[in-house]
Amino acid sequence: MNFRFSARSLWLLGAAAVAILAIIFYATIPVAEVAVVRRGTAISAVYGTVRIEPTVAIPVHAQNAGYIHLAPAVAAGRGAIGKTVAKGELLATIADEATARQLKQARGDLQAARQRAALPLPSAEPLKAAEDNAQRLEKLTALNNVPAVEYEKARSEVNRLRGLVEAERIERDRNLASLDEAVKKLEAQMKNSEIRAPIDGLITAIQAIDGTLVAEGNPLFTVASRTNYVRGEVNEEDVGEVKPGMRAILQVYAFRTRQFAAKVAAVQPAADPDTQRYAVVLDLQNPPENLMAGMTGEMNIVTGRHENALLVPTRALIADQALVVKHGTVRSRTVKVGLRTLEYSEALSGVAEGEHVVISDQDKLRPGHFARQRIVAVPRPTVQ
Instruction: Note the pLDDT tens digit of each residue in 47-73.
Output: 999 999 998 999 999 888 888 888 888
User: Would residue 34 count as lying in a domain?
Assistant: yes
Tell me: the pLDDT tens digits for 85-142?
999 999 988 876 677 677 788 888 888 888 888 888 888 888 888 888 888 887 888 7
Say how far apart CA 341 and CA 47 lie, in whole Å. Answer: 8
Q: Quick one: pLDDT at residue 381?
A: 54
Give the torsion sign (CA, 306, 307, 311, 314): positive
Mean pLDDT of 256-278: 90
**177 and 110 within one domain:** yes
**Three-state secondary-structure class, residue 170:** helix
State which H helix or E strand residue 15 sits in. Answer: helix 7-28
User: Would residue 256 count as lying in a domain?
Assistant: no
Say how far apart CA 365 and CA 371 lie, in whole Å. Answer: 8
Question: What percent of the chain clears pLDDT 70, i.e. is strictly above it?
Answer: 89
Beta strand 219-224 with 201-206 is antiparallel
**Three-state secondary-structure class, residue 235:** coil
Say how far apart CA 244 and CA 377 lie, in whole Å. Answer: 34
**103 and 185 within one domain:** yes
Residue from 97, 110, 225, 118 nearest 179 by CA: 110
User: Would residue 160 count as lying in a domain?
Assistant: yes
**103 and 187 within one domain:** yes
**101 and 37 within one domain:** no
Q: Quick one: pLDDT at residue 1?
A: 46
Look up residue 370 and give its DSSP letter. Answer: B
**Alpha helices, DSSP H, located in 48-147:** 97-117, 124-142
**Three-state secondary-structure class, residue 278:** strand
The dihedral over CA atoms of 255, 263, 339, 360, expressed in degrees to the nearest 10, equals -10
Give the torsion sign (CA, 355, 308, 232, 273): positive
Length of the chain: 384
Q: Quick one: pLDDT at residue 253?
A: 93
**Last residue within a domain, chosen from 192, 226, 252:** 192
User: Would residue 320 count as lying in a domain?
Assistant: yes
Q: Quick one: pLDDT at residue 151?
A: 80
Residue scoring higher pLDDT (75 or 254):
254
Q: Quick one: pLDDT at residue 286?
A: 87
Tell me: the pLDDT tens digits for 132-185?
888 888 788 877 777 888 888 888 888 888 888 899 889 988 998 988 888 888
CB burial string 244-254: b at 16+ within 10 A, e below? eebbbbbbbee
Q: Quick one: pLDDT at residue 310?
A: 93
Q: What's the pLDDT band for 283 if we cut at 50, 70, 90?
A: very high
Say how far apart CA 73 and CA 110 lie, in whole Å. Answer: 35
State which H helix or E strand residue 166 sits in. Answer: helix 148-192
Q: Quick one: pLDDT at residue 334?
A: 94
Say how far apart CA 201 and CA 56 lie, in whole Å. Answer: 9
**183 and 101 within one domain:** yes
Say how far apart CA 113 and CA 180 lie, in whole Å. Answer: 10
**104 and 177 within one domain:** yes
**Last residue within a domain, chosen from 172, 192, 212:** 192
**114 and 34 within one domain:** no
Q: What's the pLDDT band for 232 if we cut at 50, 70, 90?
A: very high
Q: What's the pLDDT band for 275 if we cut at 50, 70, 90?
A: confident
User: Would residue 177 count as lying in a domain?
Assistant: yes
Q: Which residues contact 351 (CB under 8 A, 6 or more apart)?
A: 37, 310, 312, 322, 324, 333, 335, 357
**102 and 188 within one domain:** yes
Residue from 94, 93, 80 nearest 223 by CA: 80
Q: Quick one: pLDDT at residue 20?
A: 63
Per-residue pLDDT at 298 exceeds 90: yes
Q: Which of 6-20, 112-126, 329-343, 355-369 has the lowest mean pLDDT?
A: 6-20
Domain count, the chain: 2
**Which structural domain, as residue segments, surrounds residue 168?**
97-192
The CATH number covering residue 371 comes to: 2.40.420.20
Other Cβ atoms within 10 Å of 333 Cβ, number: 21
Q: Quick one: pLDDT at residue 4?
A: 54
Q: Which of 5-9, 84-88, 247-251 has the lowest mean pLDDT?
A: 5-9
Mean pLDDT of the chain: 85
Question: What percent of the chain clears pLDDT 90, i.e. is strictly above it?
Answer: 30
**102 and 36 within one domain:** no
Say how far apart CA 243 and CA 282 lie, in whole Å. Answer: 11
Per-residue pLDDT at 190 exceeds 80: no
**Last residue within a domain, chosen from 145, 176, 192:** 192
Residue from 228, 227, 223 nearest 87 by CA: 223
Q: Quick one: pLDDT at residue 12?
A: 67
Mean pLDDT of 191-217: 87
User: Would residue 216 count as lying in a domain?
Assistant: no
Q: Quick one: pLDDT at residue 81?
A: 86
**185 and 111 within one domain:** yes
Q: Quick one: pLDDT at residue 180?
A: 87
Q: Quick one: pLDDT at residue 9?
A: 66
User: Would residue 241 count as lying in a domain?
Assistant: no
**188 and 102 within one domain:** yes
User: Would residue 260 count as lying in a domain?
Assistant: no
- Region of residue 169 (phi > 0: left; psi between -120 and 50: alpha; otherwise: beta): alpha
Say how far apart CA 206 and CA 278 lie, in whole Å. Answer: 30
CB distance 350 to 312 below 8 Å = no
